[in-house]
Structure 1
Amino acid sequence: MSTGHARGETLHRREEDCRLQEYFSFILQLFDGCLQPVAVVDHDGRFLGGNSAFAALTGYSEEELRGRTEAALTPPEWCEATAHILEELCRTGLSQQYEKEILRQDGTRVPVEILAHRVAVGAGGTFFTILLVKDITKEKEAERALRESEERYRSLVDLSPDGIVVHSEGRIVFANKAAARLLGTAGPEELVGLPVLAIVHPDYREAVKARIEQVKNSEAVPALPPVRQKLLRVDGTAVDVEVAASRLIYAGKVAVQAVVRDITEWKRSEEKLVNLSRQLQAIIDSSSDLIFLKDKDFRYVVANKEHEKLFKVKVEEIIGKTDFDFMPPEVARGCRESDLAALNSGDPVRREEYVGERCFHIVKQRVADANGNILGIAGVIRDITELKRVEKGIIHSLAKLERTLEGTVNALATMAEKRDPYTAGHQRRVAQLACAIAAEMGLPPDQVAGLRVAGMLHDIGKIYVPAEILSKPGRISEYEFSIIKTHPEVGYDIVKEIEFPWPVAQIILQHHERLNGSGYPVGLRDKEILLEARILAVADVVEAMSSHRPYRPALGTAAALAEITEKSGLLYDPAVVAVCLRLFTEKGFRLA
């Protein structure tokens, strides 16, 4: 009996296995053409096989896969959770859905989502499990990218110096740290759940309501430009802010994101600037000059009260206008011309312009910011009509004084020459040559003019030398020469009290000094002698040697030039000598 029973059990098991294999083959044939990976495991958790999609997913062929346990394809950290799920499947018989990772044959991992179904075969309690596997690599990558994006956004939001508040259905659903600091809470979580209008100053609530509705109900305008308003801190104090609002979807609902900037310090700076602007306006209004600032389009940005007096137009009516809006056309055209000149030049433009009988001095300067961007033109205009009248009178008086001075100098020179008729015209010719040398050396015209006066008067001291000595035909004695040598000092004494604008007295005193100290009356050397006196010394010698004297006939210009050439650097300034020679030999100069 027992032997027969055992034989029956064996036969029954063979039949069960046969039915299991037939059912399993049917399942694999059913899913083999399916793109979704499918695998079958027995009640011991060993793979009975899988379709081609599962083989491609794991990297195992069907033969390599058969007999392996599911745990062999599971990373260690997933084994416990997977075993618990499969136990739950066996205990309840209910399908289980779970996520895990599969170890591929090459050691790499694949994230998958598995739907496990338990299937019973026959009445003997035999079962196997069908695993419907979904490769969720892309979904996981998308989740990771989304998570990283959210983390980056949150980092940016938390690092933002501006407050960021998101509200939906009238309540705050998100706030960053800057918003919490701005509104005086310990952290953002204290703001979440508050009615958004609770943080808005009562004076601005209606306007904020309207903006919220405008943002929420208009997809065409997802963002509104910043506006200034006041918010309320949790302690009830008000804070000046600038708020920009935009529409977004938060937690599946339409919401409004508000970026809030604290402008308290900016407002203080603005008030200071306004006060400073008023002070500056008061300062320029006190000026009798026309002061203005124009933009690049030549519209007035700043103008002082003096414009009202000249153009009979209120300053408020000038701002924003151009010259053509309130000036006569011909005056406006002149202003535009100088405006353009200033705008195109980095240097100040200075002009004098007449408007009717009035004369104005105009200074205009291009204005730029710290980056060199041109902002406009600043200008100052001064009425110089009275100044021009005075200037004209001064010029007339100066001309008269110059003529008087010239007449006085000529009279003094003539007086000296009357004492010495043999040297008539000597001082004039010396002055002529000295001025030519000075001009050739590049001396300024005013210095040349002073040298001319000194040249015309350099021998005026000879009026104290007896006429018989000056006109003596023979050689003069040492005593007589000592008397003649006093004429530089006498000349100095005569003119020293005259307030010439040049050192005429000193030039006269030094015109007989020589570089080596052998001259008179002091014996000065080199640079101790005025340049004008060094020039006059050369001109004096050349003219004297070229002309007739009572004690000798004229020696001629060639002899005179030879003399200064020979004594150049010893008695006479080499630079002066070189220029004098060039005048005669290259420039064709002649004593007249």
Structure 2
Amino acid sequence: MHDPSKTYQDLIEENSLLKRRIQYLERSEGERKRTEQALIKSEAEISREQKFAQLLLDTSPAFIVAIGFDGKVMMMNQALLKALEYTTEEIRGTDYLTTFVPEEERGMLTGVFREIIREEKKTVNENQIRSKSGRTYFVQWYGQGVMFDGEAPNFFVGVGIDISERKKAEEALKDSEEKYRSLIENANEAIFVALDGKLVFVNPMTVTIMGYSGEELVSRSFTEFIHQDDRDMVIDRHVRRTKGEKTPNFYSFRLITKEGVIKWVELNSVLINWLGKPATLNFVNDITKRKQAEVALQESHTRLERNLKGAIDVISETIEVKGPYAPGHHQHVSALTSAIARELGLTNFQVQGIELAAAVYDIGLITIPIEFLQNSEKLDGIKLTLYQGYPQTGHDAVKKIESPWPIAEIILQHRECFDGSGFPKGIKGEAILIEARIIAVADAIEDLTSNKISRPGMRIDEALGIIENNSGTKYDPQVVTACLRLFKEKGYKMEG
């Protein structure tokens, strides 16, 4: 109701004040609404952040656990729950140490927890955890106390990485290293590493062979221990190998021990990386006794070969004197067999043996009457049987002579035919010694081209034609081919 005592001016001021109050109320309402909207927005953001944080926890492959100071589990993420085979409801409030940690590690982990409480610092440790089914995991944990109220930590948070596979690999590597160390230390051969001209590692057998201590060996250049006549060769191969060039894997040389004894050794060397540099890993065997035995064997072999050759020369001369041959027959056969053998790629050792066998292959003929030999193509009955027995007679005559070659067997088989039609055993093909197959061809060439009482000798081309026609029947085709190649392509000529 209007107050008559108020002036018009008073009314204007009251009206102005009222407007200001209305405006204030309107502003306050706007601020309230904005505050409410900001609060709603903030709550939504907090909710999103909580969901995001939970998503990170649930999708993280790392193990995450929160443990109260009373040792009770507050939460675990999905990765840890899955590994331990528990649900969230099962683990909440359980005692962490007694439920998930093997008994032998609980004391150590209790100390870690106390360290976090007392010193309020981050910790890193490794320990095992055990699942519901008993499976064990090795985990590397990063732990820290978390504060919500006041300044002291309220609970622990641990973030763990499953290192079970790494632990297995480390154990396997450790076992492997121990095995290799044991093998190297107990090896029967010297093993050492050479780097930049010096020995940087030696095993006990190296010390035994050389007579020096390990400290003496690794303080000097390895070339000091090599015999001066072999030194350049060993150094050259070592340098070339460290450069990646191809060198022999195995070779032998002489070492000089601390006592001045010369030892023969055989070395097998491979290129390795040692402290970032190319080096050689070397395996060395003491072959001194073997070398001495080889020298003695070679000397014995030389004496045996000399004596055997002398005996064979005498036998060969006797055969030519009493046999049906012209002088030089066995030398011609021996030369041709040697040439065919080399053409076929036989070893030098085999060639030596076939040359000796070719000098006495028909020693059994000295027991056959000369008239039988001059008409051997026309023999029959008892005469033929007697004649066909001469390879056996020759075999029996020389079988007791000591020889590194099968000379007696070559003599026995030299009249066998490739198709099995020969004598005395009727064996065929590759069952016949290659040396006997070669002598059969060489003997036929020499026989066909030599003059006899019953006929003159053939021309070499005629003799080769007969040999070729009998390839695969009387004679080994590969031997015939080699023989023809010698005469037709390489210009071989019969001696005499």
User: TM-score by structure 1 length?
Assistant: 0.56
Match of 1:289 in 2: 189
Q: 2:266 aligns with which of 351, 358, 361?
A: 361
Q: 2:442 aligns with which of 539, 542, 545?
A: 539
Deviates more, 1:518-527 or 1:295-304: 295-304
What amino acid sits opposite 2:251 in the alignment? Answer: R
Q: Are 1:427 and 1:459, in contact at CA under 8 Å, matched by a contact in 2? A: no
Q: Deviations over 1:14-47 (max 9, x none)?
A: xxxxx9xxx8xx98xx9xxxxxxxx99xxxxxxx
Larger Rg: 1 or 2? Answer: 1
Q: Which has the higher helix share?
A: 2
1:201 aligns with 2:108: yes
1:160 aligns with 2:67: no
Match of 1:428 in 2: 331
Matched positions, count: 439
Q: Distance in 2 between matches of 1:423 and 1:150?
A: 112
After TM superposition, give the deviation of residue 277 of structure 1 in Å. 6.2
Q: CA 1:227 to 1:389, structure 2 compared with 1: closer, same or farther past 3 Å?
A: farther
What amino acid sits opposite 2:329 in the alignment? Answer: H
Match of 1:495 in 2: 398
Q: Are 2:190 and 2:204, in contact at CA under 8 Å, matched by a contact in 1? A: yes
SS of structure 1 residue aligned to 2:474: coil
Q: Distance in 1 between matches of 2:331 and 2:44?
A: 107
SS of structure 2 residue aligned to 1:201: helix
Q: Are 2:264 and 2:287, in contact at CA under 8 Å, matched by a contact in 1? A: yes
Match of 2:322 in 1: 419
After TM superposition, give the deviation of residue 383 of structure 1 in Å. 2.0
Match of 2:480 in 1: 577
SS of structure 2 residue aligned to 1:423: coil
Q: CA 1:517 to 1:206, structure 2 compared with 1: closer, same or farther past 3 Å?
A: closer
Match of 1:187 in 2: 91
SS of structure 2 residue aligned to 1:553: coil
Match of 1:310 in 2: 210
Q: CA 1:210 to 1:469, structure 2 compared with 1: closer, same or farther past 3 Å?
A: farther
SS of structure 2 residue aligned to 1:587: coil
Match of 2:11 in 1: none
Q: Distance in 2 between matches of 1:171 and 1:308?
A: 61
User: TM-score by structure 2 length?
Assistant: 0.65
Match of 2:341 in 1: 438
After TM superposition, give the deviation of residue 400 of structure 1 in Å. 2.3
Q: CA 1:522 to 1:386, structure 2 compared with 1: closer, same or farther past 3 Å?
A: closer
Q: CA 1:273 to 1:299, structure 2 compared with 1: closer, same or farther past 3 Å?
A: farther
Q: CA 1:354 to 1:301, structure 2 compared with 1: closer, same or farther past 3 Å?
A: closer
What amino acid sits opposite 1:566 in the alignment? Answer: N
Q: Distance in 1 between matches of 2:178 and 2:91?
A: 42
What amino acid sits opposite 1:505 in the alignment? Answer: A
Match of 2:471 in 1: 568
SS of structure 1 residue aligned to 2:490: coil
Q: Deviations over 1:476-531 (max 9, x none)?
A: 77676665444223212212334544443333233223345543334445555444
SS of structure 2 residue aligned to 1:408: helix
For residues 140-155 of structure 1, what are the structure 2 equivalents within 5 Å?
143=46, 146-155=49-58
SS of structure 1 residue aligned to 2:408: helix
What amino acid sits opposite 1:349 in the alignment? Answer: N
1:410 aligns with 2:313: yes
Q: Distance in 2 between matches of 1:189 and 1:96?
A: 47
1:509 aligns with 2:375: no
SS of structure 1 residue aligned to 2:310: helix
For residues 513-524 of structure 1, what are the structure 2 equivalents within 5 Å?
513-524=416-427
Q: CA 1:537 to 1:557, structure 2 compared with 1: closer, same or farther past 3 Å?
A: same
After TM superposition, give the deviation of residue 313 of structure 1 in Å. 3.3
1:451 aligns with 2:354: yes
Q: Deviations over 1:556-584 (max 9, x none)?
A: 21221122123333433333222211110
5+ residue gaps in structure 1?
1-18, 31-38, 41-93, 99-112, 117-132, 193-197, 217-223, 234-238, 369-373
After TM superposition, give the deviation of residue 354 of structure 1 in Å. 2.8
After TM superposition, give the deviation of residue 460 of structure 1 in Å. 0.7
Q: CA 1:245 to 1:164, structure 2 compared with 1: closer, same or farther past 3 Å?
A: same
What amino acid sits opposite 2:308 in the alignment? Answer: L
Q: CA 1:524 to 1:344, structure 2 compared with 1: closer, same or farther past 3 Å?
A: same
